[in-house]
């Protein structure tokens, strides 16, 4: 039996711009640990993944729309990066509300690269320490968080677990940490 057997893990993206490795690598880690991943996006159209933010790659069909999704139906949330993806997620009020619902429920969240932008927009970073792609440092600090340059950072402050990493080079550590933390959710 895997560490995530019986756990339902939500992956929230926009329809375009998600960094492929930041979606597929954690997705595979969840599957390998026995969990059930679900892709959530604003619409039913396929999600366009990118490599290096510029080259189109595979598309992925969402399992649910944001309007259909509820934090009550999941044990944890993953916010993949990709600059365009993360910017569109933070600009979608329903997606931001879903992120806030996970926080309000005290459920763990993992975010990589530009993924923490949704947390900035949700106004939930007060008292949290996290890492991200370096260009988010000012946004995170202005949102009340403390930014650190670490491969992976797990913060338990404010009543909920937050796992963050900087970029695709950190995926092994990110996946290992989120699997461990999510197994206790």
**Active-site annotation, residues:** 113-114
**C-alpha–C-alpha distance, residues 180 and 58, integer Å:** 28
Cα dist from 52 to 21, 101, 155, 156, whole Å: 9, 30, 27, 31
Q: Which residues, other chains included, contact 178 with Cβ-Cβ below 8 Å and sequence gap of 6+? A: 26, 29, 76, 78, 108, 110, 163
Residue pair 117/89 in contact (Cβ under 8 Å)? The answer is yes
DSSP 92: -
Select from 66, 61, 174 the least CA-distant residue to 118: 66
- Residue 55: exposed, middle, or buried by beta-carbon count in 10 A (0-12, 13-18, 19+)? exposed
Paired tokens of 83: 């600059």
Q: Which helix (H) or strand (E) holds 25?
A: helix 20-32
């Amino acid at each position: 039996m895997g560490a995530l057997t019986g756990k339902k893990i939500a992956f929230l993206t926009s329809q375009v711009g998600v960094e492929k490795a930041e979606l597929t690598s954690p997705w595979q880690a969840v599957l390998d640990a026995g969990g059930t991943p679900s892709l959530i996006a604003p619409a039913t159209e396929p999600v366009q993944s990118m490599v290096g933010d510029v080259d189109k790659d595979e598309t992925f069909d969402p399992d649910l729309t944001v309007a259909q999704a509820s934090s009550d139906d999941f044990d944890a949330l993953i916010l993949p990066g990709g600059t365009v993806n993360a910017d569109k997620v933070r600009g979608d009020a329903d997606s931001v509300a879903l992120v806030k619902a996970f926080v309000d429920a005290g459920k763990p969240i993992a975010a990589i690269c530009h993924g923490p932008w949704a947390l900035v927009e949700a106004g939930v970073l007060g008292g949290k320490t996290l890492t991200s792609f370096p260009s988010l440092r000012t946004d995170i600090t202005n949102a009340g968080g403390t930014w650190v340059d670490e491969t992976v950072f797990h913060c338990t402050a404010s009543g909920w677990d937050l796992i963050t990493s900087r970029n695709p080079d950190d995926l092994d550590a990110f996946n290992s940490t989120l699997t461990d933390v999510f197994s206790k959710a």
